[in-house]
Each structure stands twice: as C-alpha cells, then as structure tokens.
C-alpha cells in the first residue's frame, strides 16, 4: 500500500475503498485460510463479501453468487448471468457467470484449480443451505466448514481507514443520544422514542439503522426487548440501545436514563454498571485476552452482589456488521490485538422491575490500550 491517501478521509467523509484495498483483503483472507489449514474460502453475499470486494448484489436469490479464494489462483467471482453487468461495474475481480442460474451448474464453473483431493474450504456462515448442498453435490470431494468457526478473526483487526469509519459512526451515535435526551419521554410509547432515535441516527449520517431498543421500566429487564407499545411513565428507568451503519461501518451504543429523579436503588445499580463498564474498558491492555474484558466487568458486578443479574456476555466485535467476532466472553482466550474493535456492555437486569446497561465501542490502540469511540456522558441522565 503505497498511495499516501489510501482509504483516508476528507472533510466530506471517507474516501471509497479502492480495488487495491480489496485485493489486499482478499490476499489476507487467502493467507489466513492457508495458515488455518484450509485450501481456500467460498464467500457468498453478506458481510464477508462486502468486506472482501465491496460488492452487494441487488438481490440475493436461489441463484448462486460466490467468490472463491485459494492460494495460487486468481480470486474468482461467479455470478448469475443476469447480474454479470452490475457485478462487472461494482467489483474488482472480473466476474464470470455460474451459468443460467441453477446451483447444479456450479460443477462447470467451480475453479478447476480448486478441485480434487478432498479439499477443505471455509464457507460464509450466511450461505444458503441450498447452495452449500448444491456445491457439495457438484464437487463431491469438497469439504466445507463454517467461516467463523475456522477463521473467526478474519475481519476482526481493522485498519486505519476502517477505524476512521467506526469512529465516525460512534460520533454520530453520540450526537443522536445528545438529541434524544432533550426530548420528552414520559407519556410517550417506547416505539415513538425508537422512531425518533432511528430518524436521528439517519440525520447524523447513518445509511442503515439496525436497532433502536427502548426498554422502559420492567421491559428493561429483558436485554433484547426492542420497543413496544408500553407508555413510558414518570419514575421509569429506560435503556436505550441503538446502532446501524455509517459509511458501511457500525455503531452500537447503550445509555440508561431515568424519567425524573431516580431512587437510591436505581442510582446504586447504575453506578455499579458504570464502574463495571469502566473496568471492562481498562482491562484492554497489552497481553489481555477477550475473556479478561468480560472478567473485569463481571467481577465488579459480582462483588456488588448482582452477579446473577448480569445474564449476557460483556461484548462483541463490530465492523461491517454490528455483531461479529471477537466476543468478550469467558472462555474466549483470543488475545486482544491493536485494531480490534468491540463493545463493552455490562448490564444488571432486575426481573419485573428495571434494567441498566451501558455500552461503548472500544478500539484497541497501537499501544494496546482501549480507546472509546463513544464519548457521551455515562452518568445516569435524568430526562423529562
């Protein structure tokens, strides 16, 4: 990578990734596959294909689209005949067609260099079962393994241009939060506040909103409660968890607010979560592993007597999707590496009453320390 401005950004926004960037990623993926003992990877439409080529077909259908990467051969992008024109303008490897569309035609197009001898390829997690089965039928000695099982860290380490996009997404999510806390909560449905959050994320630059959870009162005790018809009342604790994609990269933030003055218990629970989240971020240091982040946050909550009430892992990676490896969870011994980017989001969930969660996206810096990409106040915010 010699171009000085490669994948950089301007005042107007990030410059587009270039064919060189994608070629570099495809080479990285091929090398990673080799070191994982694979003969290559098969990538179908979804986040892996976006990351490797920038290509999103207009429709994902029963017609197979696949990128085949293997050492010693050029990347091969096979597309349905009717997508060939679009693909040729959208993507770096010159596409060739799979035939008129049937998966069975894969036989004739599977790169000859990739055949024979019981080869083992990683395949995108989201590949339709009919295509996996069709491939196995067409190339009988081909063995396939789920890509996140064999190459979980393929997209985990972000380069500077990716980190720049993630930081922009985080800043936009922060701006959305600062606006939403100025809006009235009491007397409105969760779904109405969620719609406002969606509009704010878009206003601050997101092209896609993946989720706007608004969980008030007892709904907050369910970590994945989305937003329903419940009318938010005075005294409610409200968990706001929202994110999506900006310039193709994700945001994912959680703050917990209270409608009117909080009780002593709400203050205490919130403070425990705030300290746990801080401990999780501070656990990001050279030599630390993913599970160390989980342990650091969990210890604070357990020591405060709420260990049973923290019912999920501490975090997940983020990049071209809002949930991906690495996972900050007990048993994940993957070392943290500069360029990794993930959430730190401990919570306490009191059944039938309320929940508290605080989430920031954290990037591992060149010094191995964590740098938050969300910087709005984590204190318990009183809203109207």
User: Does position 343 bind Zn ion by CB under 5 A?
Assistant: yes
Region of 21-29, 114-122, 234-242, 330-338 interacting with Zn ion (CB under 5 A): 234-242
Which residues have a Cβ under 8 Å from the Cβ of 114 and sit 6 or more positions away?
Answer: 39, 40, 68, 70, 73, 121
Please report how close the Cβ of residue 237 comes to Zn ion at its closest, in angstroms.
17
Query: Using the rule CB under 5 A, which residue among 48, 219, 241, 324 binds Zn ion?
Result: 241
Region of 26-34, 171-179, 193-201, 337-345 interacting with Zn ion (CB under 5 A): 337-345
User: Does position 162 bind Zn ion by CB under 5 A?
Assistant: no
Closest CA to 270 of 350, 179, 164: 350
Please report how close the Cβ of residue 316 comes to Zn ion at its closest, in angstroms.
6
Which residues have a Cβ under 8 Å from the Cβ of 149 and sit 6 or more positions away?
Answer: none
User: Does position 252 bind Zn ion by CB under 5 A?
Assistant: yes
Give the total of residues touching Zn ion (CB under 5 A). 5
Q: Which backbone phi and psi does 195 adopt, to 5 degrees?
A: -65, -40
**Tokens standing for residue 241:** 């968890």
User: Would you say 131 or 274 has its CB closer to Zn ion?
Assistant: 274
Region of 159-167, 198-206, 230-238, 354-362 interacting with Zn ion (CB under 5 A): 354-362
Please report how close the Cβ of residue 86 comes to Zn ion at its closest, in angstroms.
33
Q: Which backbone phi and psi does 238 adopt, to 5 degrees?
A: -130, 120
User: Would you say 254 or 291 has its CB closer to Zn ion?
Assistant: 254
Please report how close the Cβ of residue 210 comes to Zn ion at its closest, in angstroms.
9
Please report how close the Cβ of residue 187 comes to Zn ion at its closest, in angstroms.
26
User: Does position 360 bind Zn ion by CB under 5 A?
Assistant: no
Task: Assess contact for 375 and 296: CB atoms under 8 A.
Answer: no
**The Cα angle at residue 324 between residues 256 and 271, in degrees rounded to 5:** 20
User: Would you say 164 or 252 has its CB closer to Zn ion?
Assistant: 252
195 C-beta neighbours (distance < 10 Å), count: 15
| 254-283 binders of Zn ion (CB under 5 A) | 254
Closest CA to 122 of 152, 95, 97, 101: 152
User: Does position 21 bind Zn ion by CB under 5 A?
Assistant: no
Q: Which backbone phi and psi does 40 adopt, to 5 degrees?
A: 160, -170
Please report how close the Cβ of residue 243 comes to Zn ion at its closest, in angstroms.
6
Please report how close the Cβ of residue 328 comes to Zn ion at its closest, in angstroms.
10
Which residues have a Cβ under 8 Å from the Cβ of 272 and sit 6 or more positions away?
Answer: 300, 301, 304, 306, 348
**The Cα angle at residue 247 between residues 322 and 326, in degrees rounded to 5:** 30
List contacts with Zn ion (CB under 5 A).
241, 252, 254, 343, 359
């Amino acid at each position: 990578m010699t171009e000085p401005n490669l994948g950089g950004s301007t005042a107007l926004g990030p410059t587009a990734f270039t064919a060189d960037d994608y070629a570099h990623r495809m080479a990285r993926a091929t090398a990673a596959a080799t070191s994982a003992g694979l003969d290559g990877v098969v990538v179908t439409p979804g986040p892996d294909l976006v990351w490797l080529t920038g290509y999103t077909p207009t429709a994902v259908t029963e017609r197979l689209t696949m990128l085949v990467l293997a050492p010693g051969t050029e990347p091969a992008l096979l597309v349905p005949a009717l997508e060939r024109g679009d693909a040729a303008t959208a993507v770096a490897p010159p596409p060739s067609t799979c035939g008129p569309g049937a998966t069975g035609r894969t036989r004739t197009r599977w790169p000859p260099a990739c055949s024979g001898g019981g080869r083992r390829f990683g395949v995108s997690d989201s590949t339709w079962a009919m295509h996996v089965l069709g491939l196995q039928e067409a190339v009988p000695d081909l063995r396939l393994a789920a890509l996140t099982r064999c190459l979980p860290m393929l997209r985990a380490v972000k380069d500077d241009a990716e980190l720049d996009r993630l930081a922009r997404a985080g800043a936009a999510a922060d701006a959305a939060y600062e606006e939403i806390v100025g809006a009235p909560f009491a007397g409105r449905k969760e779904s109405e506040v969620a719609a406002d959050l969606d509009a704010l994320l878009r206003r601050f630059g997101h092209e896609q909103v993946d989720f706007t959870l608004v969980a008030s009162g007892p709904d907050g005790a369910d970590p994945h409660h989305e937003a329903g018809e419940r009318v938010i009342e005075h005294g409610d604790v409200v968990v706001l968890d929202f994110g999506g994609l900006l310039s193709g990269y994700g945001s994912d933030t959680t703050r917990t607010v209270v409608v009117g003055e909080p009780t002593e218990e709400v203050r205490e629970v919130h403070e425990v979560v705030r300290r746990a989240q801080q401990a999780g971020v501070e656990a990001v240091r050279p030599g630390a592993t993913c599970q160390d982040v989980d342990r650091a946050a969990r210890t604070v909550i357990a020591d405060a007597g709420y260990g049973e009430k923290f019912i999920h892992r501490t975090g997940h990676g983020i990049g071209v999707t809002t949930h991906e490896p690495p996972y900050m969870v007990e048993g994940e011994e993957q070392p943290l590496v500069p360029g990794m980017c993930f959430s730190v989001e401990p919570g306490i969930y009191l059944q039938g009453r309320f929940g508290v969660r605080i989430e920031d996206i954290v990037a591992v810096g060149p010094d191995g320390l964590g740098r938050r990409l969300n910087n709005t106040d984590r204190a318990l915010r009183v809203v109207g």
